[in-house]
Structure 1
Amino acid sequence: MPFFKKLSLFYYLSLFYLSISFVLRTVLMVHPITQSSFTFLEVIKIYGLGLCSDVFVFIIASGFLWLYLIFISNSKYNKPYGYIIFGLLLSLLGYVTLVNTILDEYGGALPKIGITFVGIKTVFFGLYLFLPQYRERLRLWMFSFVIFLYVLLLLQNGISEYFFWNEFGVKYNFIAVNYLIYTNEVIGNIMESYPVIPIFTALFIVVGGITFFIVKRTKSYLAKLPTFKEKISLSLVYLSLFALSFWAIPTLAKKENSTNIFTNELQSNGIYKFYLAFMNSELDYFKFYKTLPNNQAYTLLHNLLPEIKGTTTQRTVTSDSLEIKKNVVLITIESLSADFMKRYGNEKNITPFLDSLADKSLEFTNMYAVGNRTVRGLEALTLCLPPTAGESVVKRKDNKNKFTTASIFKKKGYKVNYLYGGDAFFDNMESFFGGNGYNIIDKKTFTQSEISFANVWGVCDEDMAKKAIQTINADAKTGKPFFSHWMTVSNHRPFTYPNNKIDIPGDAKSREGGVKYTDYALRQFFAMAKKQSWFTNTIFVIVSDHCASSAGKIELPLDKYRIPAFIYNPSKPKAVKYTQLMSQIDIMPTLFGVLHFDYQSKFYGQNVLQPNYQPRAFIATYQDLGLIKEQVLTILSPKQKVKQFDLKMILNSNVPKVYESHYDEIILKNPNQKLINETIAYYQTCSEILKNKQYQKE
């Protein structure tokens, strides 16, 4: 068999993978979420450098295929070697099954994967050894199965990349890694959001057809197996390409340097992006980001947060009025972008109740979410600090006994609850809230009779509203004030909810329906609350956790972080608009100001109603850390990169200026060093304080 013929399997599979990648890039380029046009040079870069990345990634990914092929032989089944190898495999199977191995130390599914792999290897070796008359047929089946798996995984990856882009507007990132951990919720979400049976039926038919085509043209490898010398030659070729790929892939990734984020994303290889996200789930600020001398950073922070002490954010907050021990209900609404509300320009009237409630509240018209995931919103509202690089504090191991909004309420004698319609295990909420003194009420606490409708994310918001009323009523009977934090779930893909509640059917699976149903459920909650004795002695805080989408042409598009927020006081319903720029981390310190609380604070968040407040907002992804201040957006990125954008408001005649959320973000040619230093000071000190465990409750 000619030498190149022995490599035919690699040729066919690589051609298949490169075809998928080409089609995927083309589809994503014209996808509605890709809000960008591309120059001719950008298109050449996307397809040219993208193709090179794909080739080298495939070479790395085909390592298992190379190992499988070079170990196919007949000589290893000859006596006595075959029996010795089979005995060793049986011993290894017994060892991984009965003994605590290194796989058990890592935990999770690894031990089962290890046992399954060794078990299959042992069974097939035994079949080849003891049934030589069937060896060729069994080998062809295994050969076909290996090709089937490769084709399936390559095609499935392309489909997954499409759906991930459809959700987030980027190739795989840190979120994709998280999704591997929470397979129940994620697979359930996919099952409920998309026509899975037709998709997978078509997928397996296509994969079967492609596998048949490739096997037919490459099975000659099995008819005359390469000699030992030929396998050495094949291995030298492969290992040389493998080494070249290790150098080329990160080198090509450095070429993803366009100012257009979509160009970079389309040029990149999704598998390599997933690998990078997996390896960088925790980012060391001091290793990856631009820093200042520590004394300079804290000197700047002293100017930004008056009255803090030393290298901490600790300070005394006092009021000139008597404390108001009112109950507090904090409602965090899933994925409620500001532009879903009528006041921000939405013409579909999908938030009629929230719009009406905002008209009777202290409304914050210019607030920005800190991040693009629920855990970031919960972190901001609970810890009131800027988003640090990598994973949210909620998801970290060191997430307990922190200085939180709950710790202040508990010192004031409040009962504290966290209410969530799903399983609080998801996103580590149970560990975080339970470890910080909250009593958790989630789906596990519901009886079957209390659930009228549920999807993979949990019970519908109406059911949670009833449970919240029940929980609060029980707390009110104790005579103590209460603080209850309710996180909604219904405005989340697959956007299913009970039928006949709003004018959009619950099985339509539309984003507008999810928003409108949540608005409806909140109307029902307040209708029930008004009938309770505690209602007029309660203050309600309503705020979104993050926007529905974070995709944009640049790293941090402002309109994808603008969220609604307001404080409603039933005993004094009054429309007041606070129009200054502010962050999600400020709303709870502002509430404490409204209640005239005296307390020892460690918060970065501030009472924005105080005269010394300096307007600014924090927005971030898991790696890009931004500060909005003085009409400039400053972004810190890994590898000590810094970008700044001048912000020019795009006026819309149909939207009052205080609600306008769209800006042109124009690269600053002359950097504003003052704002760069302030951005570094915020994020550097916050990272250090968390790292040194200085944000613990006392």
Structure 2
Amino acid sequence: MFKNCSHHLSLQLNTDSLMDLKKTQPFLYLGLFYLIISFITRIIFFFHPITSADFTLSEVLKVLVIGIANDVFVFILASSVLALYLLFLSDSKYKKPYGPLILSLLVLIFLYILIVPNNIFKQYGGSVTKIVLIFVGLKAFLFGLMFFFPQKRIKIRNVLYFITLFLYVLLIVFNAVSEYFFYNEFGVRYNFIAVDYLIYTNEVIGNIMESYPVVPLFSGIFIITLAITLLIYRKTRNELQNLPDFRQKMILLGSFAVLVAISLLTLPVMMQIKSTNVFADEIGSNGLPKFYWAFTHNELDYFQFYIQMDEKQAEKNFLSQYAEPSLSRPVASAQPEIKKNVVLISVESLSADFLEHYGNTQKITPFLDSLADRSLMFTNLYATGNRTVRGLEALTLCIPPTAGESIIKRENNKNRFTTGSVFKSKGYDVKFLYGGYSYFDNMQDFFAGNGYGIVDRNNFKPEEISFANVWGVADEDMAKKAIQVMNAEARSGKPFFNHWMTVSNHRPFTYPDGRIDIPGDAKSREGGVKYTDYSLRKFFEMAKKQSWYSNTVFIIIADHCASSAGDTELPMDKYRIPAIVFSEGFIQPQKFDGLMSQIDVMPTVFGLLHFNYTSKFLGQDVFTKEFQPKAYIATYQDLGLVKDNSLTILSPVKKVKQYSLTPETGKIAPEFNIYYKENLLKKPEQKLVNDAVSAYQSTSYWVKTNALTR
């Protein structure tokens, strides 16, 4: 008798365990599909042309193992919604008295949101009320169907289950495609740029629509999603016939809660695993937690995440480079001030190696190359970052980049000491010109808040636009508008300073046909560069006919390079940009080959004009005897100082790396030493570490305390 009971109990336990395991089939199938897609994505990244690194077999295996671990933990967290959905599947909730009570409650909540003008959801503003209303209404409708038509319950449940699976599979496929295109553009997984793209949906969706074959792409995504969903649905739908009881749900819920806790504790640790190979780190990571981290860390507190020194000592060390070692210091010239008009043109994504002067043989910048021969050309200049807002920040505020998001995109970005404020103090008319809508990247808020007039796409009449894409009007249309603006300013009798930001050299690289020998719909980077060069030539042809031309200084400089991907955190060749200063009869043609930063350009221009002013700029006039050759290059978290043939990088969490820089002169344009080989040093030189900490810590402190306001 006892033997039979024991056998029966053992059989029951085995049956229950098997049933509990079968209830996890949706997770197992979805998880397996996610791991396969992630594995394929990593293999593609290994062989992608942008991955300029070599891997040994052991390194590949290590990356794949770390990647699989990351994917497992991410999937566990991502499947929480599915777990909750399955947890609340029940037949008992439709029985009396629960069914009528739940349905009545859902209807009452719906009516409360719909009728009561000041309901609790209104306090959250935006679209929260509409979203909750739709959700509750849909929930009440479906619950009512399943309550009043129990014979249709399984069919309705199957439809909802299919939709749930479809959305999960769609998210997995769409995320893989998105990560591929993001990696194709930036050479990294999701970062703060992806957060920006989520915020500026109009520009981003428009960019996608114009850059890629959207119909075939989305058709392929839909077909793959539908096929995989049908496969998983057919394998698992029978499990909805017999729903787990309360005990089984508690076991499954408890197990899942443990896995979620482990994932939450482990993922942050996994994200801190770094090697000397940046591509290995990016390929082995998972884009979703990186996206979440970027979303919650748009501003990084230097004093929380980076190595520090005594603040007074840091400031003293940093300010020692100036003739007057103080933050607010007089800049005086022995010669009379020259109040020429100044036009600053920051060109979208113009890497130095697009120009023939730097060894390019494609002849895609014929005008800029010819203008450079008649200009002051800075041949060893580096951008501070890899985003437009970083370039605008460097040229407007003239300070090293700070960790996190650019100051332009922060709330406290107004009344700063800027290039515009210096010109305004001299009686100049100051404007920012942009072919797109300047609300993008918070440019309108920043420039208007710092005293600039703004001319953007809103100022164009329909007949003034010959071509436009999602980023704005074509550069040649903006050139014509710029001439109109400058003519009006010249008639006022005041000198003017105009900062024009170009847009055409940006994906999708579309422009009007017939201007250059590359079709406007070819969507090639070379075409974008060559068309921008064409537009600048048109601008100068028009400007030369104006009365103000001979009394104007033109500065043409890139905002950043076309790509930021490389073998190290901060690859030097991905930050090198061209810059020329041209003024017929005033600026003598010459090449300045000294190492310099983007933040040094405008202080140098003020020096050429012999301006007297009280400066809070942290850049230097490169023609003064106090100038110290150096450059600041950074991402949103890695802060680099290039000085004395070394690159020192400060990173979270209080990490320091240093590379020796060896010029490689045998590739292209040897006279400019455009490429540097970066060799990681085992022991960083402390003086250079102190210089880097002094620069970035002091800048962060002054930004935080509003010391750089005017």
Q: TM-score range by the shorter chain?
A: over 0.9
2:406 equivalent to 1:388: no
**d(CA) in 2 for partners of 1:374 and 1:323?**
31
Counterpart in the other structure of 2:436: 422
Structure 2 counterpart of 1:584, one-letter code = Q
2:164 equivalent to 1:150: no
8 Å CA contact retained: 1:21, 1:54: yes
Q: Quick one: which of 16, 30, 52 aligns to 2:47?
A: 30
Secondary structure of the corresponding residue to residue 649 of structure 2: strand
545 and 248 in structure 1: CA distance in 2 versus 1, 3 angstrom threshold: same
How many Å apart are 1:102 and its aligned residue?
7.2
Q: Quick one: which of 70, 74, 78 aligns to 1:57?
A: 74
Matching of residues 464-613 of structure 1 within 5 Å: 464-572=478-586, 574-613=588-627
2:88 equivalent to 1:71: yes
Q: Quick one: which of 64, 77, 87 aligns to 1:47?
A: 64
**d(CA) in 2 for partners of 1:355 and 1:428?**
33
**d(CA) in 1 for partners of 2:282 and 2:549?**
49
2:100 equivalent to 1:87: no
2:653 equivalent to 1:635: no
**d(CA) in 2 for partners of 1:285 and 1:573?**
40
Counterpart in the other structure of 1:9: 26
Counterpart in the other structure of 2:15: none
Counterpart in the other structure of 2:658: 644
Counterpart in the other structure of 2:148: 130
Secondary structure of the corresponding residue to residue 418 of structure 1: strand
8 Å CA contact retained: 1:413, 1:480: yes
Counterpart in the other structure of 2:263: 245
Secondary structure of the corresponding residue to residue 82 of structure 2: helix
8 Å CA contact retained: 1:417, 1:439: yes
Structure 1 counterpart of 2:595, one-letter code = L
**d(CA) in 2 for partners of 1:479 and 1:426?**
32
111 and 329 in structure 1: CA distance in 2 versus 1, 3 angstrom threshold: farther
Secondary structure of the corresponding residue to residue 577 of structure 1: strand
Counterpart in the other structure of 2:336: 322
Counterpart in the other structure of 1:197: 215
Counterpart in the other structure of 1:353: 367
More divergent stretch after superposition (438-447 vs 85-94): 85-94
649 and 529 in structure 1: CA distance in 2 versus 1, 3 angstrom threshold: same
519 and 411 in structure 1: CA distance in 2 versus 1, 3 angstrom threshold: same
2:698 equivalent to 1:685: yes
More divergent stretch after superposition (513-522 vs 570-579): 570-579
**d(CA) in 1 for partners of 2:166 and 2:516?**
46
Per-residue Cα deviation, 1:209-241 (whole angstroms, up to 9, x for no partner) = 111111111111210111111111111111111
2:415 equivalent to 1:401: yes
8 Å CA contact retained: 2:433, 2:454: yes
**d(CA) in 1 for partners of 2:673 and 2:531?**
25
**d(CA) in 1 for partners of 2:462 and 2:284?**
49
Normalised to the residue count of structure 1, the TM-score between the two structures is 0.97
Per-residue Cα deviation, 1:92-116 (whole angstroms, up to 9, x for no partner) = 3345555567766665554443333
**d(CA) in 2 for partners of 1:315 and 1:37?**
49
8 Å CA contact retained: 1:366, 1:581: yes
How many Å apart are 1:266 and its aligned residue?
0.7
How many Å apart are 1:138 and its aligned residue?
1.1
Q: Quick one: which of 226, 238, 244 aligns to 2:244?
A: 226
**d(CA) in 2 for partners of 1:570 and 1:280?**
47
Counterpart in the other structure of 1:170: 188
Counterpart in the other structure of 1:186: 204
2:675 equivalent to 1:662: yes
Larger radius of gyration: 2
8 Å CA contact retained: 1:354, 1:519: yes
8 Å CA contact retained: 1:581, 1:615: yes
Percent identity of paired positions between Structure 1 and Structure 2: 57
**d(CA) in 2 for partners of 1:440 and 1:147?**
49
Counterpart in the other structure of 1:298: 315
536 and 108 in structure 1: CA distance in 2 versus 1, 3 angstrom threshold: farther
CA RMSD for the aligned pairs?
1.4
More divergent stretch after superposition (291-300 vs 109-118): 109-118
Structure 1: state its 5+ residue gaps: none
**d(CA) in 1 for partners of 2:124 and 2:70?**
32
How many Å apart are 1:90 and its aligned residue?
2.8
Structure 2: state its 5+ residue gaps: 1-17
2:128 equivalent to 1:119: no
